[in-house]
């Protein structure tokens, strides 16, 4: 497209990750719409295109971290690991793009800078950083929940003369840590996955930890072919269970409270799910680890004991032990050899809760006590402006010139996480207010894409020009999301779920905590009730010449 080109489209999709790829397939190939996808990267993959740090891996088991919309695709693809590693996920998405010919209408290396709803034509006017301008009836965001990285504004940050990287924007050619003094700031999922791998390569690794974390061992390994073959035979049933589950996983969900059994049985159940590894500890042990403080504390104590058993130096073990927030209040981390890494002589833990980072210097990091750590490489594993950051990067303007950013100044306001009042025909895939990050993402993404596709088909079939949430429905939904979150552990930590990791961001719990199955049912009811909570606008009569 040249700068001057104006193209009239049916739909613009932003992003070519899991969401954008599947949305493109549904709208372009199944509804036959004229679609363009804008993607900032030079290939498909989204989150998995950018997050290439060492050890990057998904915490969902591989057989569940994939599309289910095409049965043959599910049968043909062979995962090699129990958990899919980043290069393999990218290969998978590449394969999907090839298989369904999903690249031909993607404009790569192109970011959408603004999108304005033109009330006269009832079309979105979309502009990009290449100067493109297109108009479309529908605007669909597949921009990810964790795709706008944040590097804290430490004093002297830009004075560092060594190499500096953010985990979410990793160089494609990789980073050579051999013989280097490396500092990793941050111990969320990205830090915890990368730290053991970097430790094995670097001359010395300093880990700058502000908050100790609860972790469950992944028990990662190669995939058991026999298990995978068995799963493939039963795929439909497995996915059906996952679709109607709380977390988007097909696990048996216990109904027992951690307090309903005696201590010996409780420990045995924790131990069993700990040995199985991954999210089974959270979803497969007891029903109330994230809703009952005493149950959460029992899980926390179990993990604290594991840390003491694993880490040889008791002082280091104590620094690594989380005590300031309940288990289940932050994203539960899944690790491989994380605590074991601190038994290495070439790894040092720096507790920046008691001795915060004062400044980044040209040659390293100085903490408030005056201690200076000489470094060749700094890795910022400092997370993302989650859920709303990627919306705020685009100048989105709805009816009456209202900016989405302004509307969301006190926190995101959506109906079902699918749309926002005053922004007609704007659909969000896994937007704030939907289960999204609290679930196995492909399950949530497919549900949203299917729902949006059905809505667009409904509009087209009935000659309806616009759909948008009513202010009342979205206010009710917002209240509901908050009410569900209020009694959970999630409200007891400074997490990115609450926006607490970004200075000045409003403290609002953003995802829907009620579970994927419940949410799906609600979305189906909305449709069955004639798109309840949405205002449907009849097409304006064509103007006479
Ligand atoms: P996270 O989970 O937000 O972790 C970021 C880490 O960086 C965390 O340990 C933070 O400490 C730390 N951090 C952030 N800002 C600072 C400052 N200013 N000073 C010191 N330390 C800081 O991001 P990830 O990339 O690891 O994971 C994001 C999600 O991606 C993950 O949950 C999965 O869903 C996939 P804190 O805990 O805030 O004290």
Q: Mapping DSSP to helix (H, G, I), strand (E, B) and coil, where does residue 80 land?
A: coil
Residue 478 phi, psi dihedral angles, 5° rounding: -60, -45
What is the whole-number distance in angstroms between the Cα of residue 316 and the centre of ligand 1?
20
CB 168 within 8 A of CB 145: no
Q: Which domains does the chain have, with CATH numbers?
A: 7-148+386-536 (3.50.50.60)
Q: What is the C-alpha to C-alpha distance for residues 487 and 326, in angstroms, rounded to an integer? A: 13
What is the pLDDT at residue 251? 86
Alpha helices in 117-262 (DSSP H): 189-201, 225-233, 235-243
Kind plus residue range of the DSSP H or E element containing 392? helix 389-392
Q: How far apart are CA 109 and CA 130, in angstroms?
A: 9
Q: CA-CA distance, 411 to 387, in Å (whole number)?
A: 10
What is the 360 CA–ligand 1 centroid distance (Å)? Answer: 18
Rounded CA-CA distance 151/17 in Å is 23
Q: Helices then strands (H, E): number in the chain?
A: 17, 20
Q: Which residues line ligand 1 (CB under 6 A)?
A: 146, 152, 167, 185-191, 210-211, 331, 352, 381-384, 437, 494, 496, 501
Q: Which is the closest atom of ligand 1 to the Cα of 500? A: 38
Share of the chain above pLDDT 90, in %: 95
CA–CA distance, 18 with 142 (Å, rounded to integer):
8
The end-to-end CA distance of the chain, in Å, is 30
Give the closest residue (by CA) to ligand 1 atom 29.
Answer: 189
Q: How far is the CA of 356 from the centre of ligand 1 (A)?
A: 15
- Return the number of other C-beta atoms located less than 10 Å from residue 471's C-beta: 14
Structural contact between residues 349 and 209, judged by C-beta atoms closer than 8 angstroms: yes
Local confidence band at 545 (pLDDT 50, 70, 90 cut-offs): very low
Mutation pick for ligand 1 pocket among 46, 210, 349 (CB with most ligand atoms within 8 Å): 210
Which distant-in-sequence residues (6+ apart) come within 8 Å of 144 by Cβ? 15, 17, 19, 46, 47, 390
Query: Which range among 130-144, 216-230, 262-276 shows the weakest confidence by mean pLDDT?
Result: 216-230
Distance in angstroms (rounded) separating the CA atoms of residues 281 and 334: 10
| 188 CA → ligand 1 middle, Å | 4
How far is the C-alpha of 25 from the C-alpha of 19, rounded, in Å?
A: 10
pLDDT in tens, 455-489: 999 999 999 999 999 999 999 999 999 999 999 99
Handedness of CA 210, 215, 217, 221 (dihedral sign): negative
Positions of E strands within 438-539: 464-469, 534-538
H helices of 376-422, in order, are 389-392, 404-407
pLDDT value at position 538?
A: 80
- Which DSSP category does 157 fall into? G
pLDDT of residue 2: 44
For ligand 1, the distance from its centroid to the CA atom of residue 270, given in whole angstroms, is: 26
Which residues are 497's β-sheet partners?
Answer: none
Instruction: Provide Rg for the chain, Cα atoms.
Output: 24
pTM for this model (two decimals): 0.96
* Residue-level pLDDT at 397: 98
Ligand 1 center to 495 CA (angstroms)? 8
Ligand 1 midpoint to CA 328 (Å): 15
User: Which atom of ligand 1 is found nearest the CA of 190?
Assistant: 26
Instruction: Return the ligand 1 atom nearest residue 192 CA.
Output: 26
């Amino acid at each position: 497209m040249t700068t001057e080109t104006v193209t009239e489209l049916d739909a613009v999709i932003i992003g070519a990750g899991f969401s954008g790829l599947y949305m493109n397939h549904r709208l372009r190939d199944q509804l036959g719409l004229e679609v363009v996808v804008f993607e900032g990267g030079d290939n498909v993959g989204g989150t998995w295109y950018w997050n290439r740090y060492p050890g990057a891996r998904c915490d969902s088991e591989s057989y569940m971290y994939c599309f289910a919309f095409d049965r043959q695709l599910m049968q043909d693809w062979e995962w090699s690991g129990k958990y899919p590693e980043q290069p393999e996920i990218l290969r998978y998405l590449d394969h999907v793009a090839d298989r369904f010919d999903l690249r031909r209408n993607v404009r790569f290396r192109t970011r959408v800078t603004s999108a304005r709803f033109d009330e006269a034509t009832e079309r979105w006017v979309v502009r990009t950083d290449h100067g493109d301008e297109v108009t479309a009836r529908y605007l669909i965001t597949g921009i990810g929940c964790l795709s706008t990285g944040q590097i804290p504004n430490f004093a002297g940050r830009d004075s560092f003369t060594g190499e500096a990287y953010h985990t979410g924007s990793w160089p494609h050619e990789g980073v050579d840590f051999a013989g280097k003094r490396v500092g990793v700031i941050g111990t969320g999922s990205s830090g915890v996955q990368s730290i053991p791998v970097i430790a094995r390569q670097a001359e010395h690794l300093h880990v700058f930890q502000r908050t100790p974390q609860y972790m469950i061992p992944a028990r990662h390994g190669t995939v058991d072919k026999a298990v995978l073959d068995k799963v493939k035979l039963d795929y439909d049933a497995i996915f059906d269970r996952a679709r109607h589950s709380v977390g988007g996983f097909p696990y048996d969900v216990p109904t027992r409270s951690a307090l309903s059994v005696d201590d010996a049985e409780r420990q045995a159940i924790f131990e069993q799910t700990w040995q199985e590894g991954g999210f089974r500890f959270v979803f497969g042990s007891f029903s109330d680890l994230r809703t009952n403080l005493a149950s959460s504390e029992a899980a926390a104590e179990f993990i604290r004991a594991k840390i003491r058993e694993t880490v040889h130096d008791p002082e280091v073990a104590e620094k690594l032990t989380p005590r300031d927030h309940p288990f289940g209040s932050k994203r539960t981390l899944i690790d491989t050899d994380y605590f074991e890494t601190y038994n290495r002589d070439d790894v040092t833990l720096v507790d920046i809760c008691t001795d915060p980072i004062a400044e980044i210097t040209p040659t390293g990091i100085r903490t408030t006590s005056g201690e200076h750590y000489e470094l060749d490489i700094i890795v910022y594993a400092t997370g993302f402006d989650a859920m709303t950051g990627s919306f705020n990067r685009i100048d989105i303007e709805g009816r009456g010139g209202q900016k989405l950013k302004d509307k969301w100044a006190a926190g995101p306001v959506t109906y079902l996480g699918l749309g926002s009042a005053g922004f007609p025909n704007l659909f969000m895939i896994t937007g704030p207010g939907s289960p999204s990050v609290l679930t196995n993402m492909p399950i949530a993404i497919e549900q949203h894409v299917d729902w949006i596709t059905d809505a667009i088909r409904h509009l087209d079939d009935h000659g309806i020009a616009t759909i948008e949430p009513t202010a009342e429905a979205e206010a009710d939904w917002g209240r509901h999301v908050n009410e569900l979150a209020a009694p959970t552990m999630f409200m007891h930590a400074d997490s990115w779920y609450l926006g607490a990791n970004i200075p000045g961001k409003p403290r609002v719990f953003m995802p829907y905590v009620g579970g994927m199955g419940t949410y799906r049912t609600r979305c189906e009811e909305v449709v069955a009730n004639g798109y309840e909570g949405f205002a449907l606008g009849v097409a304006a009569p064509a103007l006479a010449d």
